[in-house]
């Protein structure tokens, strides 16, 4: 997986990285694997970096690009245990120096990947925990997705309110 | 009557400036201990959501939202609920962990009170209302064959019983029907959509059916 990420990043293939991130987030949800979750966050963050011209045009870019590639190579060769954290730190540094947004690319990626994991069918709490995402942020992303339009519950608003009234009535009598 | 609230609806209501609706309703909103931490303590460390957390804390301070005490029995039920729920669905013989402690605590408190939960997300609602449908969702979304332990699903039903699941959208619609919200239907529609976009598991179709069906 790390090799795939590294090769795609080297080839500036943001589409591949984004697809890999999504697929890996789903796998992380199913397998409850925090390392997979972290890899999906990194793949997604790298894909975002590649789509932002202001990062690519920055004089800092070659230095950071090399630092990311070097960390990924070390990870491929099993040289460093915390290599994913190293990649993450580098992305955060690029973002802090050259990013346009207050919210970091990595934090956004955590929430987006957690939202994808939630769409698989795990709860928001499990998804937030797995991806170290903030639950406020996660809900914000979930609200922007179509996931809740794909499934129409058998019990609608009207029926739930009627059931609530029945309970109130029973409680009062 | 006591309604046990999960983190999601409190966040959705806070972010849409609709928390005040809870104050107008004749219910006690009880928060499991884990949820209190999640919605009001932890987010204070982040600038982005600190205001939302402080708003919720204000409602806790004012007694509109109350922290629930699980007690020994509640702890035991929460433990069982979490253990069973996370062993109902399997992919390639591996159990799928679908809920966490906070949700299990909310379910436990609901079983010990008036059997009403305020929960915005889809997973826990389907698990308790329609576990077969949750399997279908899991199957479609993972693209894998999901097997289900029906005995465990029934055991969960036996422990929990019938729990009415309300979403933030349902509670706001109820407040509207009770005349506690603006009389303007446009306001209600806007509020329901705002909650949907804030993460409440409600479809556009449901909103349309309710308003114009």
Domain boundaries, position A37: 2-172
pLDDT digit string (tens) for chain A, length 173 residues:
888 999 999 999 999 999 999 999 999 999 999 989 999 999 999 999 899 888 788 888 898 899 889 888 888 887 766 777 787 788 777 877 776 665 678 888 999 999 999 998 898 989 999 999 988 889 989 998 888 888 777 889 999 999 999 999 888 87
Q: Measured between beta carbons, which residues in chain B are less than 8 angstroms from residue A147?
A: 122
The answer to whether B99 faces chain A, any CB pair under 8 Å, is: yes
From A111-120, B34-43, B118-127, B129-138, the region with the lowest mean pLDDT? B34-43
> Could B114 and A171 be called an inter-chain contact, meaning their C-beta atoms sit closer than 8 Å?
yes
- Which pLDDT band, with edges at 50, 70 and 90, does B81 fall under? very high
Q: In this predicted model, which residue has the larger pLDDT, B59 or A90? A: B59
Which residue is associated with the tokens 């994991």? A117
**Residue B55, pLDDT score:** 87
Q: Which residues does chain B have within 8 Å of residue A138's beta carbon, measured at their own beta carbons?
A: 199
Contact A121 B138 (CB under 8 A): yes
pTM: 0.88
pLDDT above 70: percentage of residues in chain B: 97
Which are the contacts of A144, defined by CB distance < 8 A and separation ≥ 6? B197
- Report H helices in B130-203: 131-142, 150-160, 168-177, 185-197
H helix or E strand, kind and range, residue A171: helix A157-172
Please count the structural domains in chain A.
1
Q: A136: which residues sit within 8 A by CB, 6+ positions away?
A: B11, B15, B43, B46, B48, B49, B52
Sort out which chain B residues have CB atoms less than 8 A from A151's CB and list them: 122, 133, 137, 203
Q: Does B174 touch chain A (CB under 8 A)?
A: yes
Spatial contact of A126 and B100, defined as CB atoms under 8 Å apart: yes
- ipTM of predicted complex: 0.90
């Amino acid at each position: 997986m790390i090799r795939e990420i590294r090769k795609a990043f080297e080839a500036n293939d943001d589409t591949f990285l984004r697809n890999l991130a999504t697929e890996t987030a789903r796998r992380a949800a199913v397998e409850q694997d925090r390392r997979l979750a972290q890899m999906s966050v990194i793949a997604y963050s790298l894909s975002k970096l590649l789509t932002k011209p202001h990062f690519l045009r920055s004089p800092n870019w070659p230095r950071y690009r090399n630092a990311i590639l070097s960390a990924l190579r070390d990870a491929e060769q099993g040289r460093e245990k915390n290599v994913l954290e190293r990649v993450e730190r580098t992305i955060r540094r690029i973002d802090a120096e050259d990013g346009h947004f207050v919210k970091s690319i990595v934090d956004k990626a955590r929430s987006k990947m957690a939202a994808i994991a939630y769409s698989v069918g795990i709860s928001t709490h499990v998804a937030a925990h797995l991806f170290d995402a903030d639950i406020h942020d996660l809900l914000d992303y979930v609200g922007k997705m179509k996931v809740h339009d794909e499934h129409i519950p058998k019990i609608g608003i009207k029926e739930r309110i009627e059931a609530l009234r029945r309970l109130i009535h029973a409680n009062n009598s | 009557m006591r309604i046990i609230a999960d983190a999601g609806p409190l966040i959705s209501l806070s972010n849409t400036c609709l928390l005040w609706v809870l104050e107008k309703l004749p219910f006690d909103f009880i928060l499991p201990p884990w949820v209190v931490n999640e919605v009001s303590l932890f987010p204070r460390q982040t600038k982005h959501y600190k205001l939302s957390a402080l708003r919720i804390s204000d409602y806790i301070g004012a007694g509109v939202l109350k922290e629930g005490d699980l007690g020994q029995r509640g702890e035991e039920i929460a433990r069982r609920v979490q253990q069973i729920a996370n062993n109902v669905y399997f992919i390639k013989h591996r159990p799928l962990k679908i809920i966490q402690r906070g949700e299990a605590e909310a379910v436990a408190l609901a079983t010990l009170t008036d059997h009403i939960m305020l929960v915005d997300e889809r997973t826990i609602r389907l698990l308790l209302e329609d576990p077969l449908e949750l399997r279908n969702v899991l199957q479609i979304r993972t693209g894998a064959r999901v097997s289900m332990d029906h005995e465990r699903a029934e055991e969960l039903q036996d422990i929990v019983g019938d729990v009415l699941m309300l979403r933030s959208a349902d509670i706001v619609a109820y407040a509207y029907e009770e005349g506690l919200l603006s009389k303007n239907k446009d306001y209600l529609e806007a509020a329901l959509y705002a909650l949907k976009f804030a993460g409440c598991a409600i479809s556009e179709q449901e909103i349309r059916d309710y308003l114009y069906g």
